[in-house]
Amino acid sequence: MSGELKTQGSQLFLLDNGVSPAAVVRITNLTNIDGLGGAASDIDVTNMDSTAREFLVGLKDNGQASFGMNFAPQSAVHQRVLAISGGSRYQWAIGLSDGTAAPTIAAGDVFSKPTTRSWFTFEAGVQEATITLQTDDAVRVQGSLRVSGAITFTPKA
């Protein structure tokens, strides 16, 4: 084994500065996180001297990430996720399973990440929060996050 991690124990946090005072909240009943990352655009620089199409690599678009959760209607966190759908951008942090410490809020309403855990942090708005009800299943919510800017990885110290 060369340092692989299990997904069990990974957690998703929202820095909710839409409330006063701002608060770090953990998205509970989380079942999955998908699609973190993205692709760069192509810049076509083909000209009359080209013998084939030529491209430069453009800016990276970190696209959309999604998360699933088993919906708990009485959960204030779940109610908040539904309420911020289609609104402002927020800071998000994914704490991997190599630690258990939660982030806190530093001056300027930004995440302060404990060094005892690996982190992915990014800014995103909740594009949609879709509720799914199927026969013989739990009520589920699938959230779609539109990432704005860079995704930062901070390894455990």
Architecture in CATH of 11-44+53-154: Roll (2.30)
Residues 6 or more apart in contact with residue 14 via CB below 8 angstroms: 24, 25, 27, 80, 81, 90, 91, 92
Convert the pLDDT of each residue in 68-77 to its tens digit: 999 999 999 9
Residue 146, pLDDT > 80, answer yes
Convert the pLDDT of each residue in 18-67 to its tens digit: 888 999 999 999 999 999 999 999 999 999 999 999 999 999 999 999 99
Residue 1, pLDDT > 80, answer no
